[in-house]
């Protein structure tokens, strides 16, 4: 089974703090993704990466950055946390290859509260 | 502008009956569609998918139908079971999974005994 592990289930941070959200996958997947989920808005793509040290902006990258130094690890960084970044953050990975067979597998999520 | 729309925020179905969840999309470049199921405090789990070259895909109790001309897909669950109570997300991708998925806002399915 594919396992996507997010380091924290719950985090509480202060406004202005630098926040790191970590994600590790164990299936040698090429692609990794960060989404946030907010009530009434569904899941929105923040950043994704299709290779080590490669990153691409998603739909809502403002206020975030990412790092992928190793294939299995994808980090989301909030440079200066703000209250509007309070959300559920979801990491996902996919194998890559044929587009019509590429399934994303999700971690359990990190619920971040910025006070 | 919402490219994937799930217009029913919630749906209540009696146990044993058919559940039909609907999804509409506007981007004609979408060529791969997926349904995910999500329980509270858990990540979404993959349920079923369909490529744009097909109009139907079936997996056990779950069937997804795709109508490309109407830009509409639906998920049928037959028979509905209490464990099916969850939020269901429709998602789509264009030209390759590496670009991420575009999700709808979700439909909360409630199966009543």
* pLDDT tier at B95, thresholds 50, 70, 90: low
* pLDDT tier at B97, thresholds 50, 70, 90: low
Region B15-34 average pLDDT? 95
Q: Is B27 within 8 Å of chain A by CB?
A: no
Give the SS3 label for residue B83.
helix
Mean pLDDT estimate for chain A:
92
Look at residue B41 in the predicted model and tell me its pLDDT. 82
Look at residue A64 in the predicted model and tell me its pLDDT. 97
Q: Nearest by CB to B97, which of A31, A58, A107?
A: A31
Which residues in chain A have Cβ-Cβ distances shorter than 8 Å to B3?
Answer: none
Look at residue B107 in the predicted model and tell me its pLDDT. 96
Question: With 90 as the cut, is the pLDDT of residue B47 above it?
Answer: yes
Look at residue A46 in the predicted model and tell me its pLDDT. 96
What does the DSSP 8-state code read for residue A83? Answer: G
b/e per residue, B8-24, with b = 16+ CB within 10 A?
A: eeebebeeeeebbbbbb
**Interchain contact, A108 vs B106, CB within 8 Å:** no
Report the distance separating Cα A69 and Cα B6, nearest Å. 37
**Interchain contact, A106 vs B99, CB within 8 Å:** no
Region B30-41 average pLDDT? 92
**Interchain contact, B53 vs A56, CB within 8 Å:** no
Region B11-27 average pLDDT? 97
């Amino acid at each position: 089974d594919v396992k996507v592990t997010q380091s924290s289930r719950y985090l509480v941070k202060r406004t202005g703090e630098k926040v790191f959200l970590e994600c590790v996958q164990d299936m040698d997947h090429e692609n990794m993704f960060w989404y946030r989920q907010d009530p009434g808005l569904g899941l929105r793509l923040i950043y994704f990466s299709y290779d080590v040290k490669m990153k691409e902006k998603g739909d809502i990258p403002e206020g975030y950055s990412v790092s992928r130094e190793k294939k299995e690890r994808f980090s989301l960084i909030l440079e200066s946390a703000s209250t509007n970044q309070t959300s559920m953050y979801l990491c996902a990975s996919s194998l890559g290859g044929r587009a019509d067979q590429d399934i994303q597998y999700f971690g359990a999520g990190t619920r971040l509260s910025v006070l | 502008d919402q490219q994937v729309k799930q217009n029913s925020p919630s749906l209540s179905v009696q146990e044993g009956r058919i559940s039909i969840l609907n999804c509409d999309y506007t981007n004609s470049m979408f060529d791969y569609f997926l349904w995910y199921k999500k329980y509270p405090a858990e990540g979404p789990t993959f349920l079923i998918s369909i490529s744009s070259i097909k109009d139907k895909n079936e997996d056990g109790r779950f069937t997804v139908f795709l109508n490309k001309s109407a830009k509409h897909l639906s998920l049928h669950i037959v028979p509905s079971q209490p464990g099916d109570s969850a939020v269901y997300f429709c998602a789509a991708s264009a030209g390759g999974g590496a670009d991420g998925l575009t999700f709808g806002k979700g439909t909360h399915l409630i199966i009543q005994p």
